[in-house]
Amino acid sequence: MSADDTHGTATMTIESTKMTRLLGTSFALALALVVTGCPSDDGTGDDEIGETDDTTDDTTEETSEDTTSEEDTTSEEDTTSEEETTTGEDPFSFADNDPSEYAQVDRMGMPAVNTAVITSKDEYNADNPESDINGDYVDEIIANVTALHVALDDDLLGFSLTPCVAADCVAQAGPLVIPDTLTLDLEAAAGFPNGRGLEDPVMDVTLAVVLLDLNVHELTTLVGVLNPEANDVPFQSDFPYLADPN
């Protein structure tokens, strides 16, 4: 064998040895990865999966129980509410007695008329609007309106307001306060003195008619001067419409 052949054989032996070591190392690494990725012999991996499933089941059961409980509570509340509505008394139940069973003790179709300009209140309260039309109370109305002007005209002038002469005041107020009824004309515009809305400035308009010269001032001149322009609590949109008490 020549020197070249001997050198070639040695080189092949070295390369073969390197290849064997490389394959051995690769096999060992692959085996380590496989062993690491598998569950341990004590079944820890299986236990963890089992615990997760159990937790999920418990959570599902608790959620289901909570939902059922809420539904039961809602159902009970609805049932109770329906029973109360069904068995409760009608809050707007009115007597249906014959009118002859009642005695008239007051009448006030227009605000402040009975209060401020009528002297014989008992007779007036027991009477009816026909007596107003007949003029039965005109004299005392004129006397009381005159007394109001004696007491208030200086104050009105102090507010740069022009008071009416008593006789003129009665003349301009007559159509509004005589007869003492609440007028409701469906063909006319709604609003005091045709009807009476909760937001209508009833007293301000009435006082303007009784106290002011309407040739100088408007009917609404006293709105916001003597009384608030609006209720302090909003009115309701449904019956009974009045605002809740404070």
Residue 216 included in any domain = no
- Collapsed DSSP state (helix, strand, coil) of residue 54: helix
Are residues 65 and 138 both part of a single domain?
no
What pLDDT, on the 0 to 100 scale, is given for residue 77? 53
pLDDT surpasses 90 at 123: yes
Tokens (6 digits) for 183: 């007028």
* Amino acid, res. 75: S
Q: How many domains does the chain have?
A: 2
Residue 200 included in any domain = yes
* Amino acid, res. 216: V
The more confidently predicted of residues 206 and 8 is 206
Are residues 132 and 176 both part of a single domain?
yes
Cβ 208 vs Cβ 217: under 8 Å: yes
pLDDT surpasses 50 at 19: no
Percent helix, strand, coil in the chain, to 5, is 55, 0, 40
Are residues 83 and 149 both part of a single domain?
no
What pLDDT, on the 0 to 100 scale, is given for residue 111? 83
Are residues 121 and 70 both part of a single domain?
no
Are residues 127 and 154 both part of a single domain?
yes
What pLDDT, on the 0 to 100 scale, is given for residue 66? 52
pLDDT in tens, 68-113: 455 555 555 555 555 545 556 777 788 889 988 998 889 988 888 8
Residue 144: other Cβ atoms inside 10 A: 18
- How high does pLDDT run on average in the chain? 75
Are residues 162 and 206 both part of a single domain?
yes
Are residues 132 and 183 both part of a single domain?
yes
What is the model's pTM? 0.56
Weakest mean pLDDT among 71-75, 86-90, 115-119, 123-127 = 71-75
Are residues 150 and 70 both part of a single domain?
no
pLDDT surpasses 70 at 138: yes
Range of the domain at 61: 54-87
Centroid of chain to Cα 26: 79
pLDDT in tens, 216-238: 999 899 998 888 888 888 899 89
Residue 223 included in any domain = no
